[in-house]
Amino acid sequence: MTAFTGTGSLVRLILRRDRVLMPIWMLFMAVLPLSLASGTAAIYKTDAERQGYIDDLGSSPMLILFYGQKPSDPNLGALIFWRSATGIVIMALIAVLFVIRHTRLEEEAGRRELLGSAVVGRHAGLTAALVAISGASLGVGVLVALGMMSQQTPASGAFAMGMAWAFAGIMFGAIAAVTAQLTEGAGAARGIGIGLLGLAFAVRGVGDVVAGGWAWLSWISPLGWVNQVHAFTDNRWWVFALAIVATVALAALALRLSARRDVGAGLLPPRLGPATAAPSLSSPLALAWRLHKGSLYGWLVGLGVVGGVLFGGVAETSTKLLEDNEQLTEILARIGGKSGAADIFLAGTLGMGATAIAAYGIAAALRMRTEEASLRSEPLLAASVSRMRWAASHLVFAFLGPTVVMAVTGLFAGLVYGASVDNIGREVPRVVGGALVQLPAIWVLGALAVAMFGLRPRLAPAIGWGALSLCIVLGQIGAALQLSQSLLDVSPFTHIPRVPGGSVAFTPLLILTALAVALAAVGLATFRRRDIPVT
Amino acid sequence: MENAISVSGLTKRFGQTKALDGLDLAVAQGEVHGFLGPNGSGKTTTIRILLGLLRADGGTATLLGGDPWRDAVALHRRLAYVPGDVTLWPNLSGGEVIDLLGRLRGGLNPKRRKELLERFDLDPKKKGRAYSKGNRQKVGLIAALASDVELLLLDEPTSGLDPLMEEVFRQVIAEETKNNGRTVLLSSHILAEVEALCDRVSIIRLGKTVETGTLTQLRHLTRTFISAELATPPNGLGSMAGVHDLHVSDNHVKLQVDSAQLDPVLRQLTSHGVRSLVSQPPTLEELFLRHYETEPVK
Ligand SMILES: Nc1ncnc2c1ncn2[C@@H]1O[C@H](COP(=O)(O)OP(=O)(O)O)[C@@H](O)[C@H]1O
Ligand SMILES: [Mg+2]
């Protein structure tokens, strides 16, 4: 038996466990540049048009921060490679989550120990996770390349772009393999991994925005290398050598670190907690605060502050983009001119932010299910805590959490946009309003998860997440697929008025709110009467 | 005196599985009551019904004079529960969990908490994820034992404890009942633990109570093993009351006999002329194992 014995069967185990999730995200990643390419090809037909588009986008430092340096050639492939750079970050993020999920989380749950006692080598678990993420990333890369080729772009560029995307996943998978060795808790390992991704993004972004004497910054970030492949212009294949060397070095480091520590232990000493509880930790709500505050802070900063600033910042540049497009300008003139364009942009991005926040609401509601299934709810309910009080402690976060995050998102978007058009007093309440009208739809999805938690606890996660996926599909591509209105109406987000800019129809908002209340009430009433725990 | 727990004819189904099938249980105030039965016999289900977590399909259950389902919140102020598999929140320290659970019951005795931490040798500063199985169990035990409650519901609470800690547990439970007059329902697999601690025992099997009584009473239910060589081949032994597992080959006899029927069976044997005789004294273990066997009770 070698240290790698059993890697193959562990890879199969990973594929089996992720047999639903993995095809979904792979397909999602593959469709992203494809849909962007076909959409762009239809609007910007000539090199001159595309060059104008590139120059427009490139005039905003915010977008350079996101996409990297402008491409040197305005062909369609180069434009798409540049415009879809966010996809690279998503690839890297998925890879981090994936590797932590199949390494440190397994260990934390004690399942690694179980496997360790079977015939698997010491390195098998980590290697299997790396093999699986590399395979999946290469799969995405091939799909991306084929998708680009289907849009009449050169094969060499398409292949360079596909491999660039693949290596974003592969490199960050290897980075996560290292962070997974550091801490005992999966949450902390994930946090460090995502933090490094954020750092890589920031370093690459600053290098690209400031450029000149600071351009070298883009070269010390793995995300920078992916951009530097310059697919469809230079096709710099040699950059992949850097990526391969980095990946091999990181994987080797992760394996060395893993070999030097005990199963379950981390290299960083675990942090100790207090020997006695603070006086405030004496209610279910106080406990729920401890359990939910991490993700609440994450959403507040990630979507509320960063997202808000970006939405607000880009809103003003979006008006600039439209200046050259006569047809659009004319349409927009009828609905309120240039500020109309910004309004449409803000209403759209706030709507997208709202679907993201719905994910937070659902996750917070489903926390009840996690607590029940892990038997952690039992000692509380066996103490002098009523079922309603326990459920309420989590529902505060499922319903008020998204409310606070949406309000903060609107506030920051309003402040930044208001500052850019020199009218903070007018824009802040309008944009905050645009954020808050989204809430009833967000609540409906959270309340559906609550209802299922009472009625069919085992199915609650599948139905909660399934409903959100359906809403995303209907919202993002429903109109493009020309689905019938009655089908689009299934998503609560369809009924949300477009604000700022549009008029606010209160009836759908009230109906959605009433629906959310009714669903939550059904969930609580059934939870009150049912057996606990259902495992 | 009123019983702390009285259960009669309790039934509970999970789909096709009949988890409880007319279970009876009576626990007097101030006693340590052993609750024994093979895996899957319904011990945890019974305790969860007593905690108002599961709703019984039939039968009655009274806990501390109240209805376990209806009065759950008020009753839980007066009891503490330790599950067989304590799970903790990964980011809360053991000390925080002990305090939180104590506060959510009737309150915590800080002196007792400190003393128990020392006796069980538990570091309260570690985070939930860092504890081993045995240490998680200790967190649950200390939280329960340091709480100001009159009833302890312990569901296989010592699983994962090492023998030294198992001994500490026994001492602490013995003190609990002697000094504080607490009632304990102790579901357990460990015979020595039950023999050391319990005043009375109920044995359940397939969701039904099959024996209940004091340990002395139960010892009367045990059997003596006899192996004898006789002068002539025996007859009539098979039809005698209290004889089990009879094996006869020529003059050799092996059998088990209920303690109550020892006298007539020995007379029958001596009537055939006993040449040699080996007997093994009755043990409780044998009694339990008999009830743990898988074929249904006759
Ligand atoms: N939530 C449940 N769903 C389905 N069956 C269950 C559930 N809980 C217990 N059972 C079944 O009920 C029976 C009794 O289980 P349990 O009370 O846990 O036994 P014990 O604690 O004595 O080992 C077992 O057959 C078990 O499989
Ligand atoms: Mg049990």
User: What are the pLDDT digits (tens) for A354-406?
Assistant: 988 998 999 999 999 999 999 999 999 999 999 999 999 999 999 999 999 99
The amino acid at residue A151 is Q
What's the angle, vertex CA A259, arms to CA A257 and CA A262, rounded to 5?
Answer: 95
Rounded distance between C-alpha atoms, residue A32 and residue A352, angstroms: 15
Q: Partners of A232 in the beta sheet?
A: none
Distance, in Å, from the CA atom of B229 to the CA atom of B239, rounded to the nearest integer, reads 19
Sequence-separated (6 or more) residues with CB below 8 Å from residue A36: A80, A83, A84
Name which of A350, A369, A373 is nearest A446 in CA terms: A369
Are the Cβ atoms of A273 and B127 closer than 8 angstroms?
A: yes
User: How far, in Å, CA of A187 to CA of A183, rounded?
Assistant: 9
A187 with B101: Cβ contact below 8 A: no
| Sheet of strand B243-249: strand arrangement | B243-249, B252-258, B223-230, B274-280
A211-220, A366-375, B45-54, B72-81: lowest mean pLDDT where? Answer: A211-220
Q: Give pLDDT, residue A325.
A: 58
Token digits of residue B1:
């005196």
Q: Do the Cβ atoms of B104 and A385 come within 8 Å? A: yes
Query: How far apart (Å, rounded) are the C-alpha atoms in residues A137 and A92?
Result: 10
Q: Do A276 and B96 touch (CB under 8 A)?
A: yes
pLDDT of residue B298: 42
Instruction: Name the nearest CA neighbour of B27 among B164, B163, B154, B189.
Output: B154
Mean pLDDT (whole number) for A407-417: 95
Cross-chain residue pair A274–B95, CB shorter than 8 Å: yes
Query: Distance, CA B19 to ligand 1 centroid (Å)?
Result: 6
Q: What are the pLDDT digits (tens) for B249-261? A: 888 999 988 878 8
Do residues B171 and B18 make contact, with C-beta atoms less than 8 angstroms apart? no
Where is pLDDT greater, at A161 or A190? A161
Within an 8 Å CB–CB cutoff, is residue A382 touching chain B? yes
Amino acid at A267: L
Does residue B244 or residue B5 have the better pLDDT?
B5
- pTM, two decimals, is 0.80
Look at the block and give the residue holding tokens 């949406």: A406
**Residue A178: pLDDT above 90?**
yes
Q: Locate B268 and state its tokens.
A: 């029958």
Q: Are strands B252-258 and B243-249 parallel, antiparallel or unpaired?
A: antiparallel
Helix, strand counts (H, E) of chain A:
25, 0
pLDDT at position B64, please?
A: 96
Average pLDDT on B55-81 reads 96
Position B297 scores a pLDDT of: 45
Which DSSP helix (H) or strand (E) runs through B22? strand B17-28
Please tell me the predicted confidence (pLDDT) of residue A31: 86
Size of interface A-B (CB pairs under 8 A): 117
B3-14 and B58-63: which strand pairing?
A: antiparallel
ipTM above 0.90, yes or no: no
Of the residues B12, B35, B41, which should be mutated to test ligand 1's pocket, given the most ligand atoms within 8 Å of the CB?
B41
pLDDT of B95 reads: 97
> For B139-159, what is the mean pLDDT?
95
Mean pLDDT of B167-175: 93
How close is the Cα of B83 to the center of ligand 2, in Å?
8
Dihedral pair phi/psi, residue B200, rounded to 5°: -135, 160
Ligand nearest to the CA of B12: 1
Q: Rounded CA gap, A382 and B82, in Å?
A: 9
Confidence band, pLDDT 50/70/90 cuts, at residue A207 = confident
**Residues of chain A contacting residue B48, judged by C-beta atoms under 8 Å apart:** 532
Counting from 1 in the atom list of ligand 1, the atom nearest the Cα of B48 is 17
DSSP letter, residue B130: G
pLDDT score of B294: 57
Q: What's the pLDDT tens digit per position in B13-41?
A: 999 999 999 999 999 999 999 999 888 99
Task: Give tens-digit pLDDT for A61-94.
Answer: 767 877 899 999 999 999 999 988 888 988 999 9
CB A533 within 8 A of CB A464: no
Percent share of chain A, pLDDT over 90: 58
Q: How confident is the prediction for chain B on average, in pLDDT?
A: 90
Contact between A496 and A437 under an 8 Å Cβ cutoff? The reply is yes
* Cis bond before residue A429 (omega within 30° of 0): no
How many beta carbons lie within 10 A of that of residue A494, not counting itself? 17
A291 to chain B nearest CA, in Å?
8
β-bridge pairing B79-82 and B223-230: unpaired
pLDDT tens digits along A281-306: 999 999 999 999 988 998 898 888 88
Distance CA B19, CA B8 (A): 15
Residues 71-90 of B with CB under 8 A from A: 72-74, 76-77, 79-81, 83, 85-90
State residue A119's pLDDT score.
73
Question: Are the beta carbons of B149 and B105 closer than 8 angstroms?
Answer: yes
pLDDT, position A405: 96
At B18, phi and psi to the nearest 5?
A: -95, 100
Cβ atoms within 10 Å of A278's Cβ, excluding its own:
10
* Residue A71: cis peptide before it, omega within 30 degrees of 0: no
State whether residue B134 sits within 8 Å of chain A by CB: no
CB contact under 8 A, B96 and A283: no
Query: Which protein residue has the closest C-alpha to ligand 1 atom 5?
Result: B14
- The tokens for B236 are 């009539």
Would you call A275 an interface residue with chain B, using a CB distance cutoff of 8 Å?
yes
DSSP code for A270: P
- Best probe residue, ligand 1, of B16, B44, B57 (max atoms within 8 Å of C-beta): B44
Of the residues B13, B73, B123, the best mutation for testing chain A's interface (the one with the most A CB atoms within 10 Å of its CB) is: B73
Amino acid B180: pLDDT: 82
**Could you give all domains of chain B from N- to C-terminal order, each with its CATH number?**
3-218 (3.40.50.300), 223-281 (3.30.70)
Length of chain B counted residue by residue: 298
- Min mean pLDDT across A41-55, A223-237, A245-259, B73-87 is at A41-55
Shortest-distance atom of ligand 1 to CA B39:
23
For A56, the 3-state DSSP assignment is helix
Residue type, A196: L
| Residue B131 at interface with chain A, using a CB cutoff of 8 Å | no
Q: What is the pLDDT of residue A335?
A: 53
- Domains of chain A by residue range: 1-267
List the structure tokens of A172: 């960050």
Whether B105 and A291 lie within 8 Å, measured CB to CB? no
Helix H or strand E encompassing B258 = strand B252-258
Between the CA of residue A470 and those of A227, A465, A473, what are the distances in Å?
A: 32, 9, 5
Name the average pLDDT for chain A: 89
Please name the residue that has the structure tokens 């609650």. A460
Q: Which residues of A touch B88 (CB under 8 A)?
A: 376
* In the block, residue with structure tokens 């995303």: A472
Residue of A nearest to B141 (CA): A379
**Smallest-distance ligand from the CA of B41:** 1
Contacts of A291 in chain B (CB under 8 A): 89, 91
Q: What is the pLDDT of residue A421?
A: 87
d(CA A383, CA B167): 27
| pLDDT tens-digit readout, A314-356 | 777 666 655 555 665 665 555 555 567 788 878 888 988 898 8
Q: Which residues of B touch A375 (CB under 8 A)?
A: 83, 85, 87
Give Cα separations from A297 to A290, A360, B15, B213 (angstroms): 11, 11, 42, 57
Q: Which residues of A touch B46 (CB under 8 A)?
A: none
Q: For ligand 1, what atom is nearest to the CA of residue B15?
A: 4
Residue B110 predicted with pLDDT over 60:
yes
CA distance A469 to A266: 36
Distance of alpha carbon A130 from alpha carbon A123, whole angstroms? 11
Query: Which 207-236 residues of chain B touch chain A by CB within 8 A?
Result: none
Assign A261 a pLDDT band (cuts: 50, 70, 90): confident
Q: Identify the band that residue A136 occupies on the pLDDT scale cut at 50, 70 and 90.
A: very high
Contact between B204 and B262 under an 8 Å Cβ cutoff? The reply is no
* pLDDT number for residue A431: 95
Pure H helices in A230-336 = 238-260, 284-299, 308-322, 326-334
In the three-class reduction of DSSP (H, G, I as helix; E, B as strand; rest coil), residue A305 is classed as helix
Give the pair of three-digit tokens for residue B208. 């039904």
The more confidently predicted of residues A326 and A426 is A426
Average pLDDT over residues B191-197: 86
Cα–Cα dist B155/A271, whole Å: 31
